Amino acid sequence: MTADFTISRLTDTQRIGELHALVTGAFRNLQIDPPSGVLKETEGDFLDRLKSEIVLVAERDADLIGGVFCASRPDSLYVGRLAVRGDVRRLGVASGLLDAAKDEALRLGKNKVALSTRVSLTSNIALFSKHGFVMVAETCHPGFLQPTSWDMELRL
């Protein structure tokens, strides 16, 4: 079963509140330590990101059901804050957003997509691996002795 949705670039600043609620809602219930920094970000922070990054969103019946931020780096397109509304998870929305980010990277002339994910989010790691991402580095958040995150990359 898949969700019926469309993916587009978000440019409407009036929808920042909706995007912020979607992303923070998705990250709020994650069992990760330390908690995600996105939970400290305000709508103003999201508005600033919209000015400097590409935001791809999935919509169904004009409602935001998923989103991802894409930041152009010299050698890659970095994707972050991938979020999908709880009631449509595991229906292809995250995969659709990742595919759109890959297309965006190619449009920008990038040969690599990069991201970071928490080690404890095994379902996210499985999704990214399914899309061809490989772990290139382990990192530790301050105060932690064991790796808490993986940096992953996909060569296009």
pLDDT of residue 149: 93
Instruction: Indicate the pLDDT class of residue 42, thresholds 50, 70 and 90.
Output: confident
The structure tokens listed for 69 are 């931020």
Indicate the average pLDDT of the chain. 93
Phi and psi at residue 17, to the nearest 5°: -60, -40
Instruction: Indicate the pLDDT class of residue 1, thresholds 50, 70 and 90.
Output: low
| Domains of the chain: total | 1
119 by Cβ neighbours in 10 Å (0-12 / 13-18 / 19+) ranks as middle
The most confident of 27-36, 37-46, 128-137, 141-150, by mean pLDDT: 128-137
* H or E, element range at 22: helix 16-28
Instruction: Indicate the pLDDT class of residue 2, thresholds 50, 70 and 90.
Output: low
Q: Is residue 1 part of a domain?
A: no
Q: What is the CATH number of the domain that holds 48?
A: 3.40.630.30
Residue 30's SS3 state is coil
Q: Is residue 38 part of a domain?
A: yes
User: For residues 27 and 33, what is the distance between their CA atoms, to the nearest angstrom?
Assistant: 12
CA 79 to mean position of chain CA atoms = 5
147 prior amide bond cis, ω within 30:
no
Q: Which domain holds residue 28?
A: 6-155
